[in-house]
Structure 1
Amino acid sequence: MKRMKYMMTLLCAAQVCLAGWANAAPLSITLPPETAVLKPSALPGYPLAQQKCSICHSADYINFQPPGMTLAQWTAEAGKMQHVYGAPISDQDVSTIGVYLAVTYGSAQTSDADVQAALNPSAGPPPAAPAAKVDAMALLQSNGCLACHSIDQKVVGPAYHAVAAKYAGDPQALVKVASSIQHGGTGKWGNIPMPPFAQISPDNLQTLATFILQQ
């Protein structure tokens, strides 16, 4: 009988604890602001890495890689991001980013023959004729914008509905939104920084900004 009473007491205590947990306020966790940055460089892969790599991970991911990696190794890492993790980068982006990472973080030198070959591909196809205006949704997908934004729900960054509402009636809205896309920044929608998209052409910036403001 004493054992039965003891077990009942434990059961009641457990139920009280569970009830307390169920009624407790949700736990709120605030992450520290991002401080890691990519090492600056005059190489064309630097702004491209700022734009593309920071969509999915911090610059610390690069800092944690083994020192002295070669051009082939860094290019393979960039290729893995493309083929395994679905990063929105082209084969040319992989090569360009690989050069930047290998020279800035690895053992490669700008004067190396393989680096120069990657920077100045001589056997590539001739420049293509100007393409027709790209669809806004295709631009959003190819630049990884939808990894952090959606049309009507906040993800990492604000929903495009919220951006359109913020700038409603502002005669400079198109210029401001296009500039935010091109230069990135932090503070407008919280502490999480938006990477710069400096590689997007002026026409495509206008297409994206117009689409966002129409939501």
Structure 2
Amino acid sequence: MKRLTTLLCAAQICFAGVANAAPLSISLPPETAALKPSPLPGYKLAQQKCSTCHSADYINFQPPGMTLAQWTAEAGKMQQVYGAPISNEDVSIIGAYLAVTYGSAQSSDADVQAAHSPMGQRAATPATKVDAMALLQNNACLSCHAFDHKVVGPAYHEVAAKYAGDPQAAAKIAASIQHGGAGKWGQIPMPPYTQLNPEDLQTLAAFILAR
């Protein structure tokens, strides 16, 4: 009985030590995987939207030789099953880039060219004014940022506080959104949003500074 009591006391001391131990901190190695460069418009779109949710290794690990239809279906699955913030047009454009760069398609294929035609039509159409919240939602900004607390990136009110009183604040924030980068708020990189036009960038910058 005495031995049992001794063991129970030792166990209690052990558990107490574990309970009072400092939280375990884990540092992940920096991301090294990258998408293969391409002149196709889907390359920048994939950099911006796919990397929000997963590493480029996810794409590298897919079976080689996948067709345009298969890669487009894969992009569509991200939209429909996992809720990726990409439009039907984005699905076609990203699918074409992936099929040419990682699969069996050629950039000269008629189906690949057709996948890019919506982007050309969009560029030729006069830009319409989009509100800031729609831009945040359509470009997955709220996956990494919140208004009042840190998520992956800083809270918008922190950004506004940092640039308060800076006459170049709007231009600096717009440039950060457009070009992306790392180091200002930590080592996790922010992807570039090069598809946003100057009006969209200024709309987002003004919205963030008003938080």
Secondary structure, aligned partner of 2:201: helix
Structure 2 residue aligned with 1:9:
6
- 1:163-178 matches, within 5 Å, as 163-178=159-174
* Unmatched tracts of structure 2, length 5 or more: none
Task: Mark the CA change 1:28 to 1:141 in structure 2 (over 3 Å): closer, same or farther.
Answer: same
Corresponding residue to 1:23 among 20, 40, 43: 20
Aligned-pair distance for 1:179?
A: 0.6
Aligned-pair distance for 1:214?
A: 1.1
Aligned-pair distance for 1:53?
A: 0.5
Structure 2 residue aligned with 1:195:
191
CA distance in 1, matches of 2:55, 2:81: 18
Secondary structure, aligned partner of 2:166: coil
Larger Rg belongs to: 1
CA distance in 2, matches of 1:160, 1:126: 30
- 1:134-213 matches, within 5 Å, as 134-213=130-209
Secondary structure, aligned partner of 1:181: helix
In the alignment, structure 1 residue 36 sits paired with structure 2 residue 33: yes
Structure 2 residue aligned with 1:61:
58
Provide TM-score, normalisation by structure 1.
0.92
Amino acid at match of 2:50: C
CA distance in 1, matches of 2:134, 2:16: 49
Amino acid at match of 2:173: V
CA distance in 1, matches of 2:138, 2:16: 48
Amino acid at match of 2:202: Q
Moved more, 165-174 or 125-134: 125-134
Paired residues of 1:182 and 1:205 also in contact (CA < 8 A): yes
* Unmatched tracts of structure 1, length 5 or more: none
Structure 2 residue aligned with 1:98:
95
Amino acid at match of 2:23: P
Amino acid at match of 1:22: A
Task: Mark the CA change 1:116 to 1:127 in structure 2 (over 3 Å): closer, same or farther.
Answer: closer
In the alignment, structure 1 residue 86 sits paired with structure 2 residue 83: yes
Corresponding residue to 1:114 among 103, 111, 119: 111
Aligned-pair distance for 1:198?
A: 0.8
Q: Root-mean-square deviation (CA), in Å?
A: 1.9
Secondary structure, aligned partner of 1:55: coil
Aligned-pair distance for 1:147?
A: 0.4
CA distance in 2, matches of 1:108, 1:125: 23
Aligned-pair distance for 1:132?
A: 4.8
**Number of aligned residues:** 210
Task: Mark the CA change 1:7 to 1:103 in structure 2 (over 3 Å): closer, same or farther.
Answer: same
Paired residues of 1:34 and 1:193 also in contact (CA < 8 A): no
Amino acid at match of 2:167: P
CA distance in 1, matches of 2:208, 2:197: 17
CA distance in 2, matches of 1:180, 1:158: 13
Hey, which bits of structure 1, 4+ residues long, moved more than 6 A? 124-129
Amino acid at match of 1:53: C
CA distance in 2, matches of 1:113, 1:214: 46
